[in-house]
Structure 1
Amino acid sequence: MTELTCFKAYDVRGRVPDQLNEDIARRIGRAYAAVVQPSQVVVGHDIRLSSASIKAALGEGLMEQGVDVYDIGLCGTEEIYFATSHAGMDGGIAVTASHNPKDYNGMKFVCEESRPISGDTGLFDIKALAEKGEFEAADKRGEMHSLDTSSAYVEHLLSYVDVASLKPLKIVVDAGNGGAGRVVDLLESHLPFEFIKLHHEPDGNFPNGVPNPLLPENRTAAIEAVRTHG
């Protein structure tokens, strides 16, 4: 039994393919199903080049254990949390490595009502089962479904503000070639803002640097755009 070093205190995060790959993702899916005992699980992925294949393997593991999988596609982690609660699912898994280097990937897990799963609430049980790799066969294989919660998600976001009271503004948005630009596009027609969009196209190669705003060099383009358009 090889230790899965991709398991951290609050999520899964590791270098692809050494620490996280399709085989490991499939085992994690089966282990999650065994520990959480869900009937329906939402999955989604970020823009990283390995995310779609890792999500597919994760979904395969879930279905092997009899879980119906609802795929919301390219999304942010917060959209998984929303979809899990909004659609009344038993759990959700986001395939994402946040702002880690581009050769990394990972997963974030929630159970029903989008309650997070971490080291003290079942994550290490999932780790142990995934490492062991021995699972009881399900009576019936689960099914894969597509799920679109984008309109409901936008409505949810807009419910936090009084849109009628907002004044026209120019706002610089640097998506860092990640998936956040898609949400800006969905919100744009509902808001009285002119968005100045930088690095807006999703690109898992991250040609303008890993989308980590904590790095000063990654804020330069936005700073210059504010000065130009302000």
Structure 2
Amino acid sequence: MDLSCFKAYDLRGRVPDQLNPILAEKIGRAYVAITGAKKIIVGYDIRLSSPEITEALSSGLMAAGADVFDIGLCGTEQVYFATSHYNMDGGIMVTASHNPKDHNGMKMVGPESRPISSDNGLNDIRDRVLEPFADAPEQGRYETLEVMSAYIDHLLGYVDGASLKPMTIVCNAGNGGAGLVIDEIEQHLPFEFVKLHHQPDGHFPNGVPNPIVPENRKVTADAVIEHGAAMGIAWDGDYDRCFFFDENGRFIEGYYIVGLLADQFLRKTGSGKVIHDPRLIWNTLDLVKAAGGEAIESKTGHAFIKQRMRDEDAVYGGEMSAHHYFRDFAYCDSGMIPWLLIAERLCQSGQTLSSLIDARIEAYPASGEINRTINDPPKVIAAIEAKYTVGAKSVSFVDGLSVEFDNWRFNLRMSNTEPVIRLNVESRGDIPLMEEKTKELLAEMERLNIQ
């Protein structure tokens, strides 16, 4: 049996050769065998294969004696929400996020929506799939569970409704599931939504929803300008990531959103810890300190960030890849809470999104993440380390190589899945310096790659 769909954090693969109903049924049985879960939330995304895979998964869970609570078509964060909100033993979301349309997968959590990844059970589930199964003495029950209303109530609890004012927001669901939530939540808000690619459609008539790909952004940017909107929002298919455009249609680098959300959250709490990834940090450190919080660095990746948030009881965590985590959301990531907080900030401050962001770009200009395919990534990173750590102010290995000087810093890290090195460079208020050092590092990486 091909088990290549099991990855480090979740399952993803092509349907039907890497993931199909037969395998999904076995995964359900193995999940119960390994976790011992008795009550499990199950939900699925808009992909055409999702209902069939979900049905087979549920059959396996019930054959192993677990009760299945089916929340239907939803986003990944609704499985997180329902699992913790209803005190379930676990949850499984059938989704392949932004993978091609002929793919599918699963994201798994345990009690309190704690992630199940390769270092805490996912590999055990994979190995258990290969062994024989016997039916439980008593088959589990199946029931549907309506969670949208409780979920919407929870989302609205993050903002001060009285401070919200009418404004126009462009939202692009990418024919994923986010439109269903917008339709529900707009009744409670004074905003006018311009809806693009709004209907859930697993055929993906406008391409796979992944706003991180530059060519996917134009339609949102154009609509913001056309409608004079205060901002634009775009989501991936299972809407656990959201991306922002200012009132001029400019796409905003995720790094600056982390700082803005940390600041907005700390204004509410007055203090607290904020978790961030090590790729770009100075803007976040500055804003968190100014707002009375404490910034804590964590290795990149949702399993690491979520664990660190629990360890520190952090109020918020953010990654520049557009994943944002919230303590009151079971320390999980949400693609809906961020835009609500930013809309609230625009209403309260009377400022435009561009003015809020421009000041931060000016203070800490950044290269954004640049990927380069490299033949021998460890060799190249070791050579960069040897050259650049001489005379550096500090060197860190929390995630890859981070080297800091007085006025600029960089982070260089390897991809977990491909022979790619990812580079991020930032400076203190000096765009030419940031650009010069970015060019210099890329040239050095190219030279080392040819050797």
TM-score by length of 1: 0.98
- 1:26 partner amino acid: E
Give the corresponding residue for 1:7.
6
Give the corresponding residue for 1:143.
141
Give the corresponding residue for 1:171.
169
Higher relative contact order (CA 8 A, sep 6+): 1
Give me the whole-angstrom Cα distance separating, in 2, the residues matched to 1:105 and 1:77. Answer: 13
Give the corresponding residue for 1:104.
103
In the alignment, structure 2 segments of 5+ residues that lack a partner are: 229-451
The Cα of 1:167 is off from its aligned counterpart by 1.5
- 1:104 partner amino acid: H
Secondary structure in 1 matching 2:97: coil
Contact 1:27 1:133 in 2 (8 A): no
In the alignment, structure 1 segments of 5+ residues that lack a partner are: none
- 2:186 partner amino acid: E
1:78-116 per-position Cα deviation (integer Å, ceiling 9, x unaligned): 000000011111000000000110000000000111000
Give me the whole-angstrom Cα distance separating, in 1, the residues matched to 2:215 and 2:208. Answer: 11
The Cα of 1:136 is off from its aligned counterpart by 3.4
Secondary structure in 1 matching 2:223: helix
Structural mapping, 1:39-50, within 5 Å: 39-50=38-49
Give me the whole-angstrom Cα distance separating, in 2, the residues matched to 1:52 and 1:133. Answer: 26
Contact 1:15 1:103 in 2 (8 A): yes
Contact 2:2 2:18 in 1 (8 A): no
Give the corresponding residue for 1:115.
114
Q: How many residues get paired?
A: 228
- 1:144 partner amino acid: Y
1:207-227 per-position Cα deviation (integer Å, ceiling 9, x unaligned): 001000011121111111011
Structural mapping, 1:123-134, within 5 Å: 123-130=122-129, 132-134=130-132
Structural RMSD (CA): 0.8
Give the corresponding residue for 1:205.
203
- 2:191 partner amino acid: F
Structural mapping, 1:53-92, within 5 Å: 53-92=52-91
Give me the whole-angstrom Cα distance separating, in 2, the residues matched to 1:135 and 1:123. Answer: 18
Give the corresponding residue for 1:196.
194
Give me the whole-angstrom Cα distance separating, in 2, the residues matched to 1:34 and 1:208. Answer: 40
Percentage identity across aligned positions? 63
1:8-48 per-position Cα deviation (integer Å, ceiling 9, x unaligned): 00000000001000000000000001001011100000000
Secondary structure in 1 matching 2:171: strand
Give me the whole-angstrom Cα distance separating, in 1, the residues matched to 2:66 and 2:131. Answer: 18
The Cα of 1:133 is off from its aligned counterpart by 3.7
Give me the whole-angstrom Cα distance separating, in 1, the residues matched to 2:131 and 2:21. Answer: 14
Give me the whole-angstrom Cα distance separating, in 2, the residues matched to 1:17 and 1:135. Answer: 22
The Cα of 1:137 is off from its aligned counterpart by 2.7
Q: Which structure's CA Rg is the greater one?
A: 2
- 1:24 partner amino acid: L
Give me the whole-angstrom Cα distance separating, in 2, the residues matched to 1:133 and 1:218. Answer: 43
- 2:7 partner amino acid: K
Give me the whole-angstrom Cα distance separating, in 2, the residues matched to 1:62 and 1:119. Answer: 20
Contact 1:71 1:145 in 2 (8 A): yes
Structure 1 residue runs of 4+, over 6 Å off? none
Give me the whole-angstrom Cα distance separating, in 2, the residues matched to 1:127 and 1:34. Answer: 11
The Cα of 1:163 is off from its aligned counterpart by 1.3
Give the corresponding residue for 1:24.
23
Secondary structure in 1 matching 2:72: strand
- 1:138 partner amino acid: A
Give me the whole-angstrom Cα distance separating, in 1, the residues matched to 2:143 and 2:75. Answer: 19
The Cα of 1:3 is off from its aligned counterpart by 4.3
Give me the whole-angstrom Cα distance separating, in 1, the residues matched to 2:3 and 2:161. Answer: 47
Give me the whole-angstrom Cα distance separating, in 1, the residues matched to 2:141 and 2:49. Answer: 23
- 2:84 partner amino acid: S
TM-score by length of 2: 0.50
